[in-house]
Structure 1
């Protein structure tokens, strides 16, 4: 409660897709679902929010987006069901841990919700509970140009019209 005995509260949340290895059909599905969710609130709302998310979920000091899409449950579950049986090796696991470091970096340095929670002396355990339990930091690492890891950067972590509409 503030000095006028008024309770203060806020809502926060995310709506993003952060793949380690990209699949175009997953990202297109994600954006179609986001557009469908936004449609009842106005035809231009999806475009407005996508632009805002493309700008917000961007790690400026690395010139790199953190995510490729901004939606959640309705968009996420079909992707999980489609990809859950994929096998992976230590190479993919290492890349996953490396990409998780970008998530942590974004949240601690740039995310307004995280910064607000810390600066307002919120419950730090709750604020940081969204962080992945394991990450891997590599100094100035770059993927091999012809690798699947590089494809994430060249084909997915770019501002793109995933719905192919104007």
Structure 2
């Protein structure tokens, strides 16, 4: 794939003008929604603007934009799946227990932040941490649920705490 401008001539306005519609069309084919594709396209260019990658060094801007766009698309799908699961859980609550729209938004944003924070943990480590923190289960109960030893649960919890601490740096 050959890009129109040599690497030394890239500027954000030029990249945007030359590649936005292409990226947006690619995203639209994967999402099936022009509005969300446009938002993700804009977010991709915002990431490019905020990145440490010097624009002049981009040899293949489309490949770079596609990589960033794929990551944002993955985050988009994760967020939608989380939102869907949250709304399904709310549907099982009695009407008098339902949170207000504002509380729902805050809870959903918190869930998404927690999901991002725990991203990268092995599923068993993630489950152990969530059961401990959200359900208040002890290590023995978690070990039973996971079918592992209590010592393994302690190791999982240490991994999860370390992951959270490093994510805050």
Task: Answer 1 or 2: higher relative contact order, Cα 8 Å, separation at least 6.
Answer: 1
TM band (smaller chain):
under 0.3
Larger Cα-atom Rg = 2
What TM-score, normalized to structure 2? Answer: 0.24
